[in-house]
């Protein structure tokens, strides 16, 4: 316990000025004026991702922050670069805030600058925007670009980018949302339970993923926890899908699920209003490709009663249009 009287002159209080005022009000100020603890060495097993600490205000560390950086993705930035906003998770508020009270911040010492995100670029090659890089890419080149892509923050958490897979010439291009856990592990699209259902749906209309169908996703890297992709991730990734469409020249496109349908058709209409009819998508070369919208297999697994509607969608897609 700290002596209630006469702290050493050099002692730095561990309370901020507002807290000091409160303590003074309570007549407890002196109890808290004790030498600042020596900064402790960071424990060996410090988490890489900042975890906001649940500490009492008096124990708010003044400096907790300097090491609060998320690891920059160790990938060569050939196509795209991780925007700083995505590369570094925002440090917790308690970490960047100096220990002074909120309102006094403006007049207090300037806060330490937040750590800057580092982008590791092997020999710093020029960063080419995705839309530019894909322009003249062949399918193999496009695959290489996708595998090495760092255009958004998703690259930091992926095991594999999932380019897509299928037969050529491509009769149907099937477009899903984004890789899930299994797809991220294996680097192939629709290989989990949804994929098994998709395969049987396709074979019910005489289609095979090896022979007639190319399967791809709007987003090539798995969003953490399978969350919905963010607008900036969609914007960064969609040039790849557009180039896939231009190169594969599918006879038609079957879009699975609300997210992919809305992205591809540029609408926020519900899936219920988008399915059951044939849309047209105009490619950059001016070609029109019929687009059929259906439910995502993951949704059908949860709502098997909707399989009858999905069957109608597949029959619509199989029709001579
Ligand atoms: N869901 C998708 O949308 N795509 C996949 O590749 C797997 C699951």
Q: What is the pLDDT of residue 14?
A: 53
In contact, 161 and 220? CB cutoff 8 Å: yes
Name the more confident of 141 and 33: 141
Enter the DSSP assignment of 58.
G
Q: What is the pLDDT of residue 127?
A: 78
Q: What is the pLDDT of residue 116?
A: 55
Lowest-confidence region among 43-57, 184-198, 215-229, 295-309: 43-57
- CA-closest candidate to residue 179, choices 211, 147, 201: 147
Name the more confident of 77 and 312: 312
pLDDT tens digits, one per residue of 82-121: 443 333 333 333 332 323 333 323 333 444 555 555 555 5
Q: How many CB atoms lie within 10 A of CB 122?
A: 10
pLDDT tens digits, one per residue of 150-173: 999 999 999 999 999 999 999 999
What is the percent of the chain where pLDDT is above 90? Answer: 58
How close is the Cα of 148 to the center of ligand 1, in Å? 20
How close is the Cα of 297 to the center of ligand 1, in Å? 9
- The closest residue, in CA terms, to atom 7 on ligand 1 is 190
Taking 70 as the threshold, does the pLDDT of residue 286 lie above it?
yes
Tokens of 92: 């917790």
Taking 70 as the threshold, does the pLDDT of residue 228 lie above it?
yes
The mean of the pLDDT values for the chain is 74
Q: Which ranges in the chain belong to alpha helices (H)?
A: 17-25, 29-32, 84-87, 93-96, 130-133, 139-147, 181-186, 193-204, 231-248, 258-265, 271-274, 297-302, 307-318
> What residues does ligand 1 touch, defined as CB less than 6 Å away?
176-180, 183, 189-190, 194, 217
Q: 36: phi > 0 → left, psi -120 to 50 → alpha, else beta; which? A: beta
Q: What is the pLDDT of residue 117?
A: 56
Q: Which helix (H) or strand (E) is 175 found in, with range?
A: strand 172-176
Q: Which ranges in 118-192 belong to alpha helices (H)?
A: 130-133, 139-147, 181-186
């Amino acid at each position: 316990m700290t002596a209630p009287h006469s702290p050493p002159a050099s002692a730095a209080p561990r309370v901020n000025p507002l807290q000091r005022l409160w303590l003074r009000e309570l007549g407890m100020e002196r109890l808290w004026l004790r030498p600042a603890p020596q900064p402790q060495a960071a424990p060996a097993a410090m988490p890489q991702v900042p975890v906001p600490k649940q500490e009492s205000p008096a124990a708010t560390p003044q400096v907790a922050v300097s090491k609060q950086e998320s690891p920059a993705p160790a990938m060569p930035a050939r196509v795209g670069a991780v925007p700083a906003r995505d590369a570094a998770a925002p440090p917790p508020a308690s970490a960047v805030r100096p220990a002074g009270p909120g309102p006094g911040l403006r007049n207090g010492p300037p806060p330490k600058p937040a750590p800057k995100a580092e982008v590791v670029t092997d020999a710093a090659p020029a960063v080419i925007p995705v839309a530019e890089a894909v322009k003249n890419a062949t399918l193999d080149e496009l695959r290489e670009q996708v595998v090495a892509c760092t255009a958004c923050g998703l690259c930091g958490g992926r095991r594999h980018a999932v380019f897509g897979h299928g037969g050529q010439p491509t009769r149907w291009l099937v477009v899903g949302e984004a890789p899930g856990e299994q797809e991220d592990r294996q680097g192939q699209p629709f290989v989990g339970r949804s994929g098994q259902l998709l395969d049987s749906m396709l074979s019910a209309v005489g289609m095979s993923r090896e022979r007639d169908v190319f399967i791809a996703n709007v987003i090539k890297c798995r969003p953490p926890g399978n969350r919905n992709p963010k607008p900036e991730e969609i914007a960064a990734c969609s040039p790849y899908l557009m180039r896939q469409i231009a190169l594969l020249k599918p006879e038609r496109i079957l879009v699975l699920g609300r997210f992919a349908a809305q992205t591809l058709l540029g609408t926020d209409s519900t899936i219920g209003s988008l399915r059951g009819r044939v849309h047209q998508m105009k490619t950059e070369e001016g070609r029109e490709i019929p687009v059929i919208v259906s439910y995502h297999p993951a949704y059908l697994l949860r709502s098997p009663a909707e399989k009858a509607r999905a069957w109608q969608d597949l029959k619509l897609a199989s029709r001579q249009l």
